[in-house]
Amino acid sequence: MDSILKISHLGKSYQNAGRTLVVLDDINFSISPGSTNAIVGPSGSGKTTLLGLCAGLDRSTTGSVELNGIALDKLTEDERAEVRNRNVGFIFQNFQLLPTLTALENVMVPLELRGEKNIRPRALELLDKVGLADRGHHYPLQLSGGEQQRVSLARAFSNQPKILFADEPTGNLDAETSEKVEGLLFDLNRDAGTTLILVTHDLELAAKTGRIIRIKGGRVAEDIINKHNA
Ligand code: ADP
């Protein structure tokens, strides 16, 4: 397969109080397996919307998304969830951990959903990988922002995703913690070959990836391959 993600003529509009807001208009690109990619652009340009469509969290208005060879647009909600469970990791800017579950239980949820066995030791192993083996019994509110983001990384890694989408993964973190989270993401790419697609306003982070796709006014304004990292 020469692309793990193929976006063709993708468009997304929202209806608001009888008016149509066109957020994305005719977006086209293909992503190579094992590559690292950044999506950048001004606030409100449609980056989060685009990430959600690529990951199958939302459905496009026009055009198509092919993820790991599967056309998402023709699938039902349940079928899309199944494709996500099997192929995709997603990291949200605001972590989206379940507040009533401990760190360990948050990581166990996707393992349980997939019907895996021995999920507690496996979840502990994942927490250990992000340096939080001793925080398993803490609830999200008892953890710092950086620790919560690392729990969400452990959760996103749990299905050994072929492709990981991260929406401003370092957006709410201090410089030192950002570096730690970045390290974990690039380790995953190097060690497991996981394709990375990061939405970020941090141009230093974007420059560490192999490709920068700039979105402006709902279109691809620039698409630059960084040969040094690609
Ligand atoms: P970015 O991530 O680049 O800041 P977003 O994708 O979050 O941009 O948003 C792009 C535009 O789409 C914004 O104008 C936002 O208000 C609008 N938008 C996003 N989600 C919805 C929604 N569910 N309903 C209506 N408008 C939305």
SS3 38: strand
Treating both helix axes as pointing N-terminal to C-terminal, what angle do 103-113 and 145-157 enclose, rounded to 10 degrees? 20
pLDDT tens, position by position, 35-50: 999 999 999 999 999 9
Q: Is the pLDDT of residue 1 over 80?
A: no
Evaluate: CB of 87 within 6 angstroms of ligand 1.
no
Q: Which residues lie closer than 8 Å to 229 by C-beta, 6 or more apart?
A: 36, 208, 209, 210
Q: Closest residue (by CA) to atom 23 of ligand 1?
A: 14
Q: Say yes or no to pLDDT of 2 above 90.
A: no
Q: List alpha helices for the chain, DSSP H.
A: 47-54, 77-87, 103-113, 119-129, 145-157, 175-192, 203-207
pLDDT above 90 coverage of the chain, percent: 82
Is there an atom of ligand 1 within 6 Å of 14 CB? yes
In the chain the domains, ranked by start, together with CATH numbers, are 5-225 (3.40.50.300)
Q: What is the tens place of the pLDDT at every residue in 51-97? A: 999 999 999 999 999 999 999 998 999 999 989 988 899 999 888 99
Q: Is the CB of 46 under 6 A from ligand 1?
A: yes
pLDDT tens string 56-67 = 999 999 999 999
ipTM of the complex: 0.97
- Residue 46 alpha carbon to ligand 1 centre in Å: 6
